[in-house]
Structure 1
Amino acid sequence: MPDASPAPAVSGPRRLKLCFVIEKLADRSGGAERVLIETANALADRGHQVELLSHEFRGKPPFYPLRFGVVHTNLRPPRVNRRRIRRHFDALRESLHTRFKVVPAPLDRLLWLSKNGGFWRRLERHLAANRPDAVIAFMPPAITALALAEPGYPVRRLASMHNAPEQDFHNPARWDPSPLDRKRRLALMPRMDRILVLLPEYRDWYPPALRGKAVVMPNAVTPVAPSLLKRAGRGPLVISVGRLATVKRHELLIDAWARIGAEFPDWELRIFGTGPLEAALKARIEQAGLGGKVRLMGHTQHIMKQYLAASLLAHPAEFEGFPLAVTEALAAGLPVVGFEDCSGVNRLVRDGENGLLVPAAGDRTENFAAALAGLMRDETRRRSLGAAGPASMMDYTPDKVIDLWEDVLGAQQTETGT
């Protein structure tokens, strides 16, 4: 007779229904957008059901490819006429906060609600209809919307922070310039079940009541194959990778190169990225007589080829969270030069081991120029620093980081089936 006993129980990680929320995703090539999509894809590969939610006017798809089965939903309805009105209203709102130090509180509340109310209400309705197990909001606009949403069931809420917290909560130049918005960002954080921070020191920034909710969740860094590292060109080339924006301080790098370029006629500086300062930086290069030696390269889909061709990464940024350009360069065996007081950089770059941390005191431009020149003169030291880079990134391999994600989401709790 056939065995009529029940099949043995099979246990394994829980399969979760997950939503990632970010304000803007369409055609955006930023670091946080890339981390979101890579994380979503990796969790989908492990069997979880993943949806990405944004709230934006653009109808374009995400810049980075989505794994089959990962769905992107834009919560904002495509109303062309209202889009034009909203852009004018947002411009007026920005102008008020830029020109006047104090905007009357009732007007500030009205302006804030006009920008944010639709996001959280549409998110609330979507969550109520789809009932995911957990929702992960990337960066302050989405975190605020998730905190305010009341979907009618006890959804697990996670806030994923992607910069140094003092920048995200207190810097008026980031996100919404409204003081009301900055106040609400922190005031609403207790509604989160977990606060994901990029580095241990960022956890310590939060008040004691929130610190217990903070979990270190670094970005994943993909190791570079040893065969590629062996074939790396390492020519007379310094590269810089990042958005052409004030915080990256490319103007300092250009000025530093102007001081040392004559000593190194065979060397070239290439700056990869796009952004609002492109025209100003191009003019600065021309005014310094550096055309042909300092080049703005725009965006590239093949940045790893540049890491493997170069001898140094110059990263003079003012602040960072967990800079992808720095981690990718180190994984590719490229020494990194950055400032000792730059958050994120001063954790990942180990001074004298896998790169150099430049003193912040005194003339920053001169200090940065001296650090670059010292390494450009010394191939032996460059190779020694570069050789230590890949091992220094092994704590952040994708498998390790996705294990952390599953742990914080509760997926590591086993489920039993038949």
Structure 2
Amino acid sequence: MRIVCAIHSLDGGGAERVMARLASMLAGRGHDVALLTLDNACKDRHEVATAVRRIPLDVIGNPQRGIAKLSSIKTRLLAIRSTLLRENPDVVLSFCDRNNIDVLLATTRLSIPVVISERSDPSAQKLSKNWVLGRFWECVRRRVYRRARRIIALTPEIAAALQPLSKRPIAVIPSAVDPVSNLRPLEERDRVILGVGRLESEKGFGRLVDAFAAVANDVPGWNLRILGDGSQRNVLQNKIDRLGLANRVELPGWIRPIAPEYGRASLFVLPSYYEGFPSALLEAMASGIPAIAMDCQSGSCQIIDHEVNGLLISGSSNEIAQAIRRLILDACLRERLAKEAIHVSELYSWERMTDAYESVMSL
């Protein structure tokens, strides 16, 4: 197949990592693959195989209102449309809600099939005070998603929420993770609590910092390290400074490669208000880190079996603090959860995920 993969950028988070790897896997199977991004590729953090043709459109702009905003949207849609007309793919595979909307609008009245993958939980997004998409674009999504050849969701719960937007059954394809060899024993790791993700409100790192502040005096020698970047960096840093934690909480940005960071950490916390199927959680568990995650209605609860391979909690900073304290003070529990956590790589393999995407795109 001739495939164009489309995403906003390869800068940062889990969806970007999955797209880069999936495009490379598809190219490795003999497909003609191009990877289109809306940015200029200067901040790419995820590499793709040399067989993947990289198409950076450099059309990301964020004017707030009026004619400038409309002009930015028009420029973006025309760039996507002209590129797809030139590439003439058998199918377009698009990731992430706003990007999916752009691709579907840009292909209006074209005969190019578009398969879209929703990387979060729309029903949870709308209930959150940190709803990024907003009412206008949610209305547009409900209209244009009906044009997609197929819609892919990460979990059955997300599929059920999206089903009214499609006449065909929503495909369910979770994310994937590599097995990790030569895992360091927990007792040889640094006393580091690790968080990974975009520094945005919906990721909940503010409450993770609050939770660490509540236990910091009880767990001397333990530090918090949050990998990622985003619009909330200064807000988080100010909170860290205000709480007197500058020597114990780090915000080093995105680190590449990230695998050594997982290999050194002794505890992982995913404090998100909502998630799709969090790649960072999969990667941490596959790396043998005992994990704490919020009991979202999808995503984390699909991956973690509470008290078996991790801990699920309801999400207040107080409960996060209690879970952190419990795991730090109970080395046997950490060891037991970590031993079970590594099996996620058997359930969510890249080969299985790529097979599923190939199947959906070929229909």
Query: What TM-score, normalized by structure 1, do the two folds share?
Result: 0.79
**What secondary structure sits across from 2:360 in the alignment?**
helix
**In the alignment, structure 1 residue 369 sits paired with structure 2 residue 321:** yes
Aligned to 1:262: 217
Q: How does 1:283-294 map to 2 (within 5 A)?
A: 283-294=238-249
Report the alpha carbon displacement of residue 228 of structure 1 after superposing the two structures with TM: 2.8
* Residues 21 and 53, structure 1, Cα contact 8 Å, conserved in 2: yes
Separation (CA, whole Å) in 1 of partners of 2:72 and 2:128: 19
Q: Specify the alignment match of 1:165 in structure 2.
A: 122
Task: Read off the aligned partner of 2:160 and give its amino acid letter.
Answer: D
User: Aligned runs of 1:198-217 on 2, under 5 Å?
Assistant: 198-208=154-164, 210=166, 212-217=168-173
Alignment map for 1:314-329 (pairs within 5 Å) = 314-329=269-284
RMSD, aligned α-carbons: 2.7
- Determine the C-alpha separation between the residues in 2 that align with 1:283 and 1:314: 21
The answer as to 2:237 corresponding to 1:282 is yes
Letter in 1 for 2:243: A
Q: In structure 2, what is the equivalent of residue 131 of structure 1? A: 88
Say if 1:165 and 1:205, in contact at 8 Å, map to a contact too: yes
Maintained 8 Å contact 1:165/1:202: yes
Give the letter aligned to residue 50 of structure 1: V
Q: What CA distance in whole angstroms lies between the structure 2 residues aligned with 1:182 and 1:171?
A: 14
User: Aligned equivalents of 1:252 and 1:320: distance in 2?
Assistant: 16
Instruction: Map 1:27-38 onto structure 2 (within 5 A).
Output: 28-38=11-21
Distance 1:305 1:288 in 2: 29
Aligned residue for 2:89, secondary structure, equals coil
| d(CA) in 2 for partners of 1:233, 1:153 | 57
Larger Rg: 1
Moved more, 392-401 or 291-300: 291-300
Contact 1:241/1:273, CA 8 A, preserved across alignment? yes
For the 8 Å contact 2:13–2:197, the answer to whether it is kept is no
CA distance, structure 2, for counterparts of residue 149 and residue 275 of structure 1: 28
Offset at residue 285 of structure 1 (A): 2.1
- Cα distance, 1:152 vs structure 2: 6.6
Shift of residue 17, structure 1, vs aligned partner: 0.4
User: Residues 229-259 of structure 1, C-alpha deviation per residue, up to 9 Å, x if partnerless?
Assistant: 5588334221111222211222212222222
CA distance in 2, matches of 1:281, 1:134: 41
CA contact (8 A) 2:36 2:56 kept: yes
- SS in structure 1 at match of 2:30: coil
Structure 1 window deviating more from structure 2 (134-143 vs 282-291): it is 282-291
- Structure 2 letter corresponding to 1:216: V
Do the aligned residues in 1 keep the contact of 2:226 with 2:252 (CA within 8 Å)?
A: yes
Q: Which residue of 1 aligns with 2:49?
A: 67
Give the Cα–Cα distance (whole angstroms) in 1 for the partners of residues 174 and 136 of structure 2: 30
User: 2 CA distance for matches of 1:323 and 1:285?
Assistant: 25
Distance 2:136 2:305 in 1: 39
Find the aligned partners of 2:87 and 2:187 in 1 and give their Cα distance: 48
- 2 CA distance for matches of 1:62 and 1:388? 33
Q: CA deviation at 1:175?
A: 5.1
Partner of 1:118: 75
Residue matched to 2:3: 18
SS in 2 for 1:206: helix
**What are the ranges of 5 or more consecutive residues in structure 2 without an aligned counterpart?**
none
Deviation at residue 312 of structure 1 after TM alignment? 0.9
User: Structure 2 CA distance, aligned partners of 1:307 and 1:193?
Assistant: 38
Aligned to 1:400: 352
Which range moved further: 395-404 or 290-299?
290-299
> Which residue identity does 2:336 align to in structure 1?
S
**What is the alpha-carbon distance in structure 2 between the residues aligned to residue 325 and residue 182 of structure 1?**
26
Gaps of 5+ in 1: 1-15, 78-82, 94-109, 412-418
Is 1:191 aligned to 2:157, yes or no?
Answer: no
Write the distance in 2 (CA, Å) between the matches of 1:253 and 1:318. Answer: 11
Residues 334-356 of structure 1 show CA distances to partners (whole Å, capped at 9, x for unaligned) of 11112223641222121101111
Give the number of equivalent residue pairs: 363
- Note if contact 2:286-2:345 (Cα within 8 Å) is conserved in structure 1: yes
Deviations 1:129-161 (A, max 9, x none): 332111111223332233234477632210111
Identity of paired residues, percent? 28
Of the three residues 177, 195, 204, the one matched with 1:221 is: 177
